[in-house]
C-alpha cells in the first residue's frame, strides 16, 4: 500500500480545539462524520472578515458592501472549482445538506412528479434523503423504491435496471454516514440516465474526504454541508445543472430571490439568487471558502490516501485485538469505504460504550445516525460509530482500542 505524504501531526497542530486537554489528557475526536473541527485558517478568515469587511451583500453601492460581496461570491467560485462544476451560478448556498435535498424534492419534485411516479433511493440513505421524498409520497402519491444492500454493506446493483425502470429520479448517497461505504457514483448516474431519471447525489459524507467532479460523474444535483469539511455550520451547498435549476420554480420566497414584485405577482431573479431568499450566511460563506482553501492546500488525493491508510489500520487493529468480539459494519476493502466505522462490541449497548469511551476523552457517536431504515436492515437499534478525518492518525485508533478494552472491565461480558 502507498502511504500518504501528509504530516498529520502538522495538520492536527492547525486545529486549535484538538490542542485542548480535558481532565488532563488529550482529546481523541472521532465524530467527524457528524461534524468536523475547524482549522485556524477558517477561524481567522471569519474573524478577519467580521472585523474588516462585514457588510450586506448585493444591495448596496458603498465600497465596503462591494468588498463583502466580492468575498461572498469568491466563496461561490471556490465551491464551483472544488466540485468541478461548469458555472458559478449553478452553486446555490443553503443552510445545510438537509435544506439542499429538501430544495430539490420541494421545487424539482413538486414541478416534475405526479401520482404514481417513481423515485429510487437506497437502503443506506440518511433521513435527509428519505423524509423529503416520503413527504411527496404523502402529498402526491409518488412511489419509492429502494436499492438493497449486500451483506457487507455495499449497494446490491443486481436488479438496478429493473428498479430504475420508469423512474423519474434516483437519489443516493456517495458515501454512507453509517457504513462508510463509498458508492459507484458515476455508474449510478449513468444507470439513472439510461432509465430517463435524473441523478441526485448526497455528497455530505463524500465531498469532505475525496476528489469531487460533478462533470465526470455526470450528476444532476449534488448536496453537501460546510460543517463536515472543516468549514462553519450554517451554510450548505446545492449544486444543480443549469437547465434543471432554470426550469424549477423557486423554493423560499422573499428578498434577493426576485426580479420584480408587484401587487399582482412577482418574477424571479436569475440563478443563483432565485434560490437564495433572504440574507444569506455571509460570514459562513467566507469560512467555507477558507475551508476549501485549506483542503486544497492538503490536496484531496492526499486526504483520501491518508484516510485509506487509517481505515486499513483500524480494520486490522480492531479485528486482530478483538476478533469476533467486534463486528464492523460495512465493507473491509478500503478502496470502497471511507474511514467511518459503525460497530458492535461485546454486546455492550452503544450508549454505554460511548459513555465509557468518553471517560478516556474518546468522542464517538452512539445512536441511529439518522438512518433508521438502515438500522432496521442491519437488525440493530443503534450502533457506536467512530469516524476519522485528516487530523486523526493511527495513534487515535490505538487509543480507541485501549478504551474499548476498558469497557469490558465495567460490563464484564
Partner 1 sequence: MPGLEDLYREIILDHHRNPRNRGELAPPASHAVGHNPLCGDEIDVYLDVTDGIITDVKVGGQGCSISQSSASMMSQAVKGKPVDEVRALVRRFKGMMSIPDEDGNPIEPDPAVKLGDLEALQGVVKFPVRIKCATLAWNTLLEALEQG
Ligand X SMILES: Cc1ncc(COP(=O)(O)O)c(C=O)c1O
Residues of this chain that bind partner 1 (CB under 8 A):
22-23, 349-352, 355-356, 359, 366-368, 372, 375, 381-382, 410-412
- Give the angle 333-336-337 at the CA atoms, nearest 5°: 85
- Give the angle 147-153-155 at the CA atoms, nearest 5°: 30
Partner interacting with residue 23 (select from ligand X, partner 1, none; CB below 5-8 Å by kind): partner 1
Contact predicate 341/386, CB 8 Å? yes
Partner interacting with residue 259 (select from partner 1, ligand X, none; CB below 5-8 Å by kind): none
Partner interacting with residue 248 (select from ligand X, partner 1, none; CB below 5-8 Å by kind): none
Partner interacting with residue 261 (select from partner 1, ligand X, none; CB below 5-8 Å by kind): none
Catalytic-labelled residue, pool 189, 204, 230, 370: 370
Instruction: Say whether 370 is catalytic.
Output: yes
Number of chain residues interacting with ligand X (CB under 6 A): 13
Contact predicate 362/403, CB 8 Å? yes
**In the set 126, 241, 274, 368, which binds ligand X (CB under 6 A)?**
126
CA 56 to chain CA mean position, Å: 28
Phi, psi at 400, each rounded to 5°: -60, -45
Q: How far is the CB of 268 from ligand X (least distance, A)?
A: 25
CA 65 to chain CA mean position, Å: 31
Look up residue 391 and give its three cell numbers. Answer: 487530523
Give the per-residue contact string, 66-105, with ligand X (x = CB under 6 A; - = no): ------------------------------xxx-------
Q: How far is the CB of 27 from partner 1 (least distance, A)?
A: 13
Look up residue 57 and give its three cell numbers. Answer: 451583500
Choose between 190 and 380: whose C-beta lies nearer to partner 1. 380
Provide the 3-class DSSP secondary structure of residue 253.
coil
Residue span binding ligand X (CB under 6 A) among the ranges 108-116, 201-209, 288-296, 323-331: 201-209
DSSP 170-216: EEEESB-TTT-BBP-HHHHHHHHHHTT-EEEEE-TTTTTTS---HHH
Give me the residues that bind ligand X (CB under 6 A), please: 96-98, 126, 128-129, 173, 177, 202, 204-205, 225, 370
Residues with a known catalytic role:
370
Amino acid at each position: 500500500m502507498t502511504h500518504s505524504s501528509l504530516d498529520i501531526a502538522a495538520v492536527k497542530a492547525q486545529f486549535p480545539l484538538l490542542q485542548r486537554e480535558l481532565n488532563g489528557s488529550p482529546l481523541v475526536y472521532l465524530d467527524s462524520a457528524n461534524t468536523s473541527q475547524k482549522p485556524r485558517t477558517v477561524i481567522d478568515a471569519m474573524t478577519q472578515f467580521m472585523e474588516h469587511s462585514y457588510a450586506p451583500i448585493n444591495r448596496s453601492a458603498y465600497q465596503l458592501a462591494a468588498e463583502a460581496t466580492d468575498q461572498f461570491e469568491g466563496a461561490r467560485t471556490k465551491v464551483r472549482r472544488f466540485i468541478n462544476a461548469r458555472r458559478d451560478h449553478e452553486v446555490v448556498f443553503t443552510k445545510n445538506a438537509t435544506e439542499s435535498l429538501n430544495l430539490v424534492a420541494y421545487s424539482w419534485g413538486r414541478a416534475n412528479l405526479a401520482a404514481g411516479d417513481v423515485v429510487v433511493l437506497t437502503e443506506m440513505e440518511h433521513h435527509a434523503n428519505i423524509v423529503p421524498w416520503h413527504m411527496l409520497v404523502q402529498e402526491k402519491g409518488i412511489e419509492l423504491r429502494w436499492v438493497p444492500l449486500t451483506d457487507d454493506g455495499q449497494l446490491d446493483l443486481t436488479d438496478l435496471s429493473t428498479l430504475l425502470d420508469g423512474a423519474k429520479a434516483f437519489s443516493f448517497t456517495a458515501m454512507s454516514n453509517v457504513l462508510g461505504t463509498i458508492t459507484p457514483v458515476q455508474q449510478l448516474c449513468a444507470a439513472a440516465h439510461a432509465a430517463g431519471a435524473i441523478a441526485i447525489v448526497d455528497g455530505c459524507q463524500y465531498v469532505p474526504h475525496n476528489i469531487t467532479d460533478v462533470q465526470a460523474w455526470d450528476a444532476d444535483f449534488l448536496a453537501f454541508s460546510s460543517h463536515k469539511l472543516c468549514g462553519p455550520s450554517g451554510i450548505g451547498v446545492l449544486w444543480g445543472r443549469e437547465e434543471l435549476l432554470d426550469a424549477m420554480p423557486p423554493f423560499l420566497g422573499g428578498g434577493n430571490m426576485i426580479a420584480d414584485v408587484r401587487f399582482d405577482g412577482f418574477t424571479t431573479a436569475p440563478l443563483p439568487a432565485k434560490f437564495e431568499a433572504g440574507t444569506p450566511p455571509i460570514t459562513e460563506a467566507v469560512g467555507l471558502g477558507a475551508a476549501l482553501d485549506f483542503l486544497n492546500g492538503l490536496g484531496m488525493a492526499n486526504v483520501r490516501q491518508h484516510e485509506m491508510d487509517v481505515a486499513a489500520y483500524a480494520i486490522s487493529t480492531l479485528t486482530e485485538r478483538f476478533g469476533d468480539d467486534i463486528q464492523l459494519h460495512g465493507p473491509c476493502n478500503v478502496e470502497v469505504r471511507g474511514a467511518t466505522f459503525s460497530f458492535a462490541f461485546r454486546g455492550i449497548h452503544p450508549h454505554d460504550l460511548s459513555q465509557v469511551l468518553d471517560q478516556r476523552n474518546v468522542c464517538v457517536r452512539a445512536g441511529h445516525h439518522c438512518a433508521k431504515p438502515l438500522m432496521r436492515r442491519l437488525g440493530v437499534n443503534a450502533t457506536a460509530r467512530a469516524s476519522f478525518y485528516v487530523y486523526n492518525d493511527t495513534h487515535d485508533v490505538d487509543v480507541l482500542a485501549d478504551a474499548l478494552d476498558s469497557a469490558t472491565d465495567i460490563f464484564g461480558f
